Structure 1
Amino acid sequence: MTMTSQPDEHHLSDSSVGHEWWRSAVIYQIYPRSFADASGDGVGDLRGVASRLTELQDLGIDAIWLSPFMTSPQKDAGYDVADYCDVDPIFGTLEDFDALLGQAHARGIRVIVDLVPNHSSDQHPWFQEALASAPGSSERNRYIFRDGSGENGELPPNNWESIFGGRAWTRINEPDGSPGQWYLHLFDASQPDFDWSNEEVKAEFRRILRFWLDRGVDGFRVDVAHGLVKDQDFPDYTPDPDSASMGGEQTPAPYFEQPGVHEIYRDWRRVLEEYDGDRALCGEAWVSSVDNMALWVRPDEMHQTFNFEYLLAPWDASELRSIIDRSIAAFTDVGAPGTWVLSNHDVVRHATRLSLIDESPQGSGIGPDFPNIPSHRDALPRAHAATALMLALPGSAYLYQGEELGLDEVHDLPPHVRQDPTWFRTKGQKYGRDGCRVPIPWEADQPAFGFNATGRSWLPQPDRWQPLARDIQQSDEGSTLSLYRRLLNLRQQFGLGRGELEWVCDYPDGVVAFRNGNVLVVANVSAAEVPLPADAQVLASSMPLSDHQLGADTTVWLKL
């Protein structure tokens, strides 16, 4: 087996306590199946990622996060893992991963891998052993199996519903063929939940962490980090229909935000601290408030957690000031950085979402019949302004592949090409997340816009993306790509990620304004023009300025 250099031999320098790289890093999320396809089969792969590292280095990011590439039947795009210590053949091999890791490190880019601990694939050897074993066996106790309710166990143990739609329990046939127990799957039926009260499960994930740390990875993004521990009484529960599908309700669901989850991450933190260097844990925790979110990043737990309250915030000055204020206060109290994000593989791209009039709940997606979908031209200024605001905030920031090109949500995918389990489990009532996962465009005049050389693509790319291809934007100073490169360069130059925010109150209510070090940031969230100081030096503006007037949906960085 080919191995990378040991962690203490990385050329990437480690930082002193309080100045670790992850505190201010800009981390770029790669959804491997949609990033770049070296094999030409229509699905992106690790060699494709490696082939585009120069472009990422040019963009100016500090690290990449790779969404799941481990062995999987791909029922949920790799979030159903059958082998946590190998690469799925559609993405390549372990040798391909090692080569990618080495090439990224040589460019000063750190690598975070996605880890899915809430559930496995139903094709995982452990679950196959559970199906073949008796109720109460050690094999079955690695997962959450329960007897059914009703006279003959014909009803599920409780009324919990899957995040993807439909019931969260599936009944199995026992080895003798008789109707048997039910197993819990908060997501698809092909994704059975682990029982995290089981010591064997805990030991297995310590082994998995060490497997990847030994290869030299710089950290882990933890999927459904708030969902591993369930209320052991398994009470009936009906979620708020207007809440985000992954959690965030004021009264947490009995399968989210349970206190026992924190001891798991304390255990994982101890594993990471066995290794030299700054390894990072970032949690996907859709929780009830930023104060509770901060519990995930106490000094002995995770290092970061995505700020989903910020991601879901409307384009409203008062709301933005409030969530920024509360977030910085909550994270500062536990000595953690803010971690800001606007788009990812589960939500409508913010180049579309922020300009929607009608609400699109997280995970539901939008389709061709969704009302009032803005044109790309009309929505892009607001997306630019939101990005410029976010990248000026102190702390760490995450970017999602393609947002640096200004890609919009592909809401008009034909029904027959959709692949998200949500689409099938809700019988088309919810569109799901395919619209933000379409392969991204690199070269305007190449097959599949440069995604590969064959023109094949696991989801079809819209023709309207041709002028958004990276090669066209590369030389256009007014492009979205040029704006991102300029903002990231200035963010590094002025140390904004390590700075401190000081609110500026000299502007109207529809404006978000603050100082971060030597930079004054003014975001006009209103419809009215706002005058800027006549002698101000403009470092960057999300849209062109006219006579030092800040137009609607525009953010400017000024040098103090």
Structure 2
Amino acid sequence: MHARPNAVLPESADWWRDAVFYQIYVRSFADGNGDGVGDLAGIRSRLPYLADLGVDALWMTPFYPSPMADHGYDVADPRDVEPVFGDLDEFDALLADAHGLGLRVTIDLVPNHSSHDHEWFRAALAAAPGSPERARYLFRAGRGPDGSEPPNNWPSVFGGPAWTRVPDGQWYLHIFAPEQPDLNFADPEVVADLEKTMRFWLDRGVDGFRIDVAHGMAKPDGLPDMVPMEDTGLLDDHGPGDLRFDQDGVHVVHRRIRAVLDQYPGTMAVGEVWVSDDDRLAQYLREDELQLAFNFKLLTADWTADALRQAVSHSLATVAGTPAPACWVLSNHDRPRHVTRYGGGELGLRRARAAALLQLALPGAAYLYNGDELGMPDVDLPDEALQDPMWERSGHAERGRDACRIPLPWSGTEPAYGFSSRPDTWLPMPEGWGGLTAEAQAADPSSIQSLYRSALALRRSSAAFGGEELEWLPAPEGCLAFRRPSGLVCLVNLSGTAVPLPEGRVLLASSAVGGGTLPDDTAVWLQA
């Protein structure tokens, strides 16, 4: 067992079961050195804001050395800090400050692939076919008489084939960009290196990991062809014919990950598992595997009572036979923001306010994406500003994920709104966001930020939120209502018209309630 350097935090081995995590997309949260790119110093300067907001923990996207072909998810060295973002001393200071404010810190682990700039991959290219250096990756001979065809028909998530040929004629597998060669988890050295990376950060005091592509890692023997499918540029589960993901061998890797975590009491891992089958997803949550897995049902649900109720029911059914609680997500750095998904403008914002109360009323853990609390929308960027590899790889057919990665507006009335000391940021910020800034919203008791602050304070302090069960209640047509065991009732009205407000003391509502009715696109918390 390891003593961990975060004695300032209250000891609770399973703090994550009902924690609210705040996802920080490092490039877009706050810029501390004025180069237009978010960094560790910027995050550190804004930690008091996060503590005041009322979240329990942070998840930081990758800040490791990287050529940035996929904005840090192509890791050249998983045990250091990319100079654009700072250095290890800055990370240690951020961690100490966060713990001092009662915030736990989790970081991204990217096991499925490395950067093509990783020393291992450079060594593999320099070595011969069949060498131990190549065995750490998935190098194969091509098909066809001269080996000029890829070894199988797998597509890359980012478009095009999942194979790139090297000068000596072999091909290497990359489920993502060519700059992200997949690692071979059948090689003991690869597994040992992942464990070494985990210990490096756990010994520094991190509280856990978010595991990128946690349904990847394992590949079927012989890498056979799969059912041909158009790739959507997304990690969605494409079903049992998709041999790139959710192979049974992945669970061996997760048991190794869990064995390391168990040596550091109070640490955890959440998996990015895009698997739509509830039973398959539940397998990742066995008692010797992940503590949490994102359930993306809520994120992908339409704004209708039936779709949302189904998403909640499926998510709870997934964890019912496991030791894990549910884990709720409305937005992240890979998906359109929910303000935009729900219709954009005033309508999208009104629905996003209601969705916030729905998400935070549900039993289990919740993940907020930076800017959710500001009601940030997606931003239509000009073609020349786009940076996501999907844009180029798809031949400009897919615009990629940049629209949901715009830097956060903190203060002021002009770009960069306090995000940076320079107006031209890594992705451009639009005009007209003065009212959206954290500073403007903090002064407005009716803002979505104020709603989040009130909701998080209630969730933390009210006894009504106890228990991990949920009971559906009768509700008017087009509405959904449930009760938590300790008395919280949540009613969401998506019916298109006002409905009667049930009996009970109103704790919080997403828009004004009066005259005994709940308006359309509004959620309310009641003490039964």
CA shift in 2, pair 1:55/1:9, >3 Å: closer
Partner of residue 215 from structure 2, selected from 212, 223, 226: 226
Gaps of 5+ in 1: 175-179, 356-373
SS of 1:449's equivalent in the other structure is coil
2:399 maps to 431
> Is 1:267 aligned to residue 256 of structure 2?
yes
Query: In the comparison of the two structures, how many residue pairs are matched?
Result: 526
1:293 Cα deviation after fit: 1.3
2:305 maps to 317
**1:284-338, Cα deviation, whole Å (9 max, x unpaired):** 0101323221211111101001011221111121222222123213213111110
> Is 1:537 aligned to residue 505 of structure 2?
yes
**1:197-244, Cα deviation, whole Å (9 max, x unpaired):** 110100111101100011000000000000111112322224654867
> Which one-letter code corresponds to 1:538 in the other structure?
V
> Which one-letter code corresponds to 2:309 in the other structure?
R
Contact 1:447/1:453, CA 8 A, preserved across alignment = no
> Is 1:487 aligned to residue 416 of structure 2?
no
Partners of 1:465 and 1:400 lie apart in 2 by 18
Contact 1:407/1:465, CA 8 A, preserved across alignment = no
> Which one-letter code corresponds to 2:455 in the other structure?
L
Partner of residue 13 from structure 1, selected from 3, 10, 13: 10
1:521 maps to 490
Contact 1:160/1:236, CA 8 A, preserved across alignment = yes
Partners of 2:109 and 2:438 lie apart in 1 by 30
1:161 maps to 155
CA shift in 2, pair 1:231/1:44, >3 Å: same
Partners of 2:432 and 2:321 lie apart in 1 by 46
> Which one-letter code corresponds to 2:120 in the other structure?
W
1:306 maps to 294
> Which one-letter code corresponds to 1:125 in the other structure?
E
Contact 1:290/1:307, CA 8 A, preserved across alignment = no
What pairs up with 1:42-53 in 2 under 5 angstroms? 42-53=36-47
**1:314-363, Cα deviation, whole Å (9 max, x unpaired):** 112122222212321321311111000000000000111123xxxxxxxx
TM-score scaled by structure 2? 0.97
CA shift in 2, pair 1:450/1:485, >3 Å: same
Partners of 2:24 and 2:7 lie apart in 1 by 22
Contact 2:157/2:232, CA 8 A, preserved across alignment = no
Partners of 1:151 and 1:468 lie apart in 2 by 60
1:456 Cα deviation after fit: 3.0
What RMSD, in angstroms, separates the aligned Cα atoms of the two structures? Answer: 1.6
1:381 maps to 350
Partners of 2:276 and 2:482 lie apart in 1 by 27
Contact 2:5/2:204, CA 8 A, preserved across alignment = no
1:160 Cα deviation after fit: 1.0
Partners of 1:252 and 1:236 lie apart in 2 by 10
Partners of 2:452 and 2:217 lie apart in 1 by 36
* Percent of pairs with identical residues: 49
SS of 2:108's equivalent in the other structure is strand
> Which one-letter code corresponds to 2:375 in the other structure?
G
SS of 2:416's equivalent in the other structure is helix
2:57 maps to 63
Contact 2:6/2:96, CA 8 A, preserved across alignment = no
Gaps of 5+ in 2: none
Partners of 2:399 and 2:194 lie apart in 1 by 33
**1:266-300, Cα deviation, whole Å (9 max, x unpaired):** 1111111112x310111001013232212111111
1:378 Cα deviation after fit: 2.2
Partners of 1:312 and 1:242 lie apart in 2 by 17
Contact 1:304/1:337, CA 8 A, preserved across alignment = yes
Moved more, 547-556 or 219-228: 547-556
Partners of 2:180 and 2:8 lie apart in 1 by 38
1:495 Cα deviation after fit: 4.8
Moved more, 520-529 or 496-505: 496-505
What pairs up with 1:387-536 in 2 under 5 angstroms? 387-410=356-379, 412-445=380-413, 448-495=416-463, 498-516=466-484, 517-533=486-502, 536=504
**1:84-139, Cα deviation, whole Å (9 max, x unpaired):** 10000000000000000000000000000101111010000000000000001000
TM-score scaled by structure 1? 0.91
Partner of residue 184 from structure 1, selected from 173, 184, 198: 173
Partners of 1:30 and 1:51 lie apart in 2 by 13
Contact 2:464/2:527, CA 8 A, preserved across alignment = no
CA shift in 2, pair 1:527/1:467, >3 Å: same
SS of 1:187's equivalent in the other structure is coil
> Which one-letter code corresponds to 1:527 in the other structure?
G
CA shift in 2, pair 1:440/1:485, >3 Å: same
